[in-house]
Chains A and B, each alone.
Chain A
Amino acid sequence: MTIPFKAPATVLDELGVTEPSDINIEAIAQYCGATVVYERLDGCEARILGAGDRAIITVDANAQRARQRFSAAHELGHWMRDRGKLAFACTEKVLVREWGDDNPERRANRYAADLLLPRKIFEARTRTMPATFESARALAKSFETSMTSTAIRLVELGSYPSMIVCSEGSGRKWFARSPLVPSSLWPTASPGKRSVAARLLTGTATVDGPEEVDADEWLDHPDSSNYTIFEDSVRTGTGMVLSMLWWKDEHQILDLLKEEDGDAERPLSGHLSFKRRRG
């Protein structure tokens, strides 16, 4: 018997999942034909061995619970999407880094995010939440997920225009943007020198929550020097810096949309309350 591919939303619906606490990854994987076991693993975070319609997902017993859940869901993503290939072994690097290019690892990460942070349940809890790591931490606690995956989800599904950028010394590794942010807005290849991220990477800053910075520290757009954004940056365990960029003042977005649409009025998140331009 071949188990057909099922999208995460379909699996969750079939199991009557309506609350974050219902997202029992071991039961969900078992329903999909994969048994999750926990063992000490030395060479990787998790691995999957599968044959026919059965698979065994092994997750490092020493990892943190959020990481274990994400690893199990990631391997389940391989099982659902890349069936027929017998073995994958995934490192922490894969789980954190590979959100950029379209490849089996990215697809497995996407599957995991859709399963552990389902749109319907997640969106209901993120209304009015700013795109900051404080919000991401609170959500990560409810959903028992890692801060990185939760922060990405908050950017993608939150109600404010925002971006998340992962940088290291050599420059930007990957980024994700909210659908509220026009596709003409791209982050710079490296964070500007006065950004919190650049200072964290060079070891000249300590983290103290979101900070208002000039938009051109982060955005590769000629008009960026006229605006400011909020930057919340943190170092990750893998020597990189994650930055959440949040347009609390949405004028840059609105002005860009106006440019693209002529003079048509376009509503955004509904949270716009004041206008602030850099002097």
Chain B
Amino acid sequence: MSTPNDAGERLHALMVALADRQISLSDTEVLDDAIADGTDVRAEAGEVRGVLLAGLLSAKRQRLKDAQTAHKEAVTSIKATNLQLPSGRAARRALLASALQRRPEVREAMVTLQHRNFDSLSEDDIESALQQLHHLGILDDDLDREK
């Protein structure tokens, strides 16, 4: 291989050669080299471990920040849901009941809900539950039936 004329290219070639040498060395040889240079290997390892752990923690915390942002966006989207609901107390309750009853996977939960509070839910509770069911995409069939 010819020697590059450009200083930058020569430096790059040198770095590559050094890296190749390091990679070809065994772990013991790398440690011996470091010790011979007067490096405190344990302290260096501790420092590297600390840097890696800090990087890991920072990446995890970024997930928490992203989730905070995602929460704000999701709330805005839910609040923007504006479904035209049937007018009248009985019709809305019937819509909620049919939406829940027609799904076999919710039978147990339905009993729980009815047993505890279904009768005691206010008109506002019913409306917000219907809006949320619509937002979750599970009220469309029931609305079509209503129509």
Contacts and interface: CB of A to CB of B under 8 A. Distances in A.
Interface of A: 13-18, 22, 24, 26-31, 35-37, 39-44, 47, 49-52, 54-56, 58, 82, 84-89, 91
B128 A24 contact: no
A51 B132 contact: no
> 5 tightest CB-CB pairs across the interface, nearest first?
A16-B60, A42-B122, A86-B106, A85-B109, A27-B67
B68 to A, nearest CB: 4
* Chain B: number of interface residues, binned into ranges: 35 or more
Contact of A51 (B60, B124, B128, B136): B136
Contacts, number: 116
Interface string B116-136: 111011101100110011011
Interface in B52-111: 57-61, 63-65, 67-68, 70-71, 74-75, 78-79, 100, 103, 105-106, 108-110
Contacts of B133: 49
Contact of B64 (A15, A54, A58): A15
B112 interface: yes
Q: Is the interface of B mostly helix, strand, loop or mixed?
A: helix
B52 to A, nearest CB: 14
A16 B113 contact: no
Interface of B: 57-61, 63-65, 67-68, 70-71, 74-75, 78-79, 100, 103, 105-106, 108-110, 112-113, 116-118, 120-122, 124-125, 128-129, 132-133, 135-138
A17 B71 CA distance: 17
A145 B3 CA distance: 69
B100 A86 contact: yes
A208 to B, nearest CB: 37
